[in-house]
Amino acid sequence: MVALTNYQITLIALMVACYLAICVRMALRMRRAGRNFWLWLAVTICFTGIPAVLVYFHDRMKQLQSPPRRRSRPAASNATSRCRHCGRRYRGDEVDDLDGVATCPNCHLPLDEVGIG
């Protein structure tokens, strides 16, 4: 039987915790890339993460080489108004419209029809 000191047990526990954190981080990254989280968590835990890291970097390089996706946004005017309560500037498309009352996106208090500023 092997006798371990408290320091050695702590060191081994820390290494296992770091390994599991790396495995979970890899699985989360793969989930963001559209892959199955549980499958990649199992792959990284069982195969020490090397194949998973290689596939991840391969996918990441392909993603970096592809042209960036553009998000379509509705056309908004550049005119801004200022909330009279908190002073934050806002555009018309940023206003929250709850129960028919326009509210500030920052302080959520009712806005006047025409902002100040």
Neighbour tally for 82: CB within 10 Å:
15
Neighbour tally for 113: CB within 10 Å:
5
Task: Indicate if the pLDDT at residue 72 is higher than 60.
Answer: no
**Residue-level pLDDT at 116:** 45
Asked whether residue 99 is domain-assigned, the answer is no
Q: Rounded to whole angstroms, what are the CA distances from 67 to 22, 34, 61, 62, 63?
A: 29, 18, 12, 10, 8
Asked whether residue 98 is domain-assigned, the answer is no
Asked whether residue 43 is domain-assigned, the answer is yes
Domain range for 15: 6-65
Q: Calculate mean pLDDT across residues 34-46.
A: 87
Q: Please report which confidence band the pLDDT of residue 89 belongs to, taking 50, 70 and 90 as the band edges.
A: confident
- C-alpha torsion angle, residues 13, 14, 19, 23 (rounded to 10): 100
Q: Please report which confidence band the pLDDT of residue 68 belongs to, taking 50, 70 and 90 as the band edges.
A: low
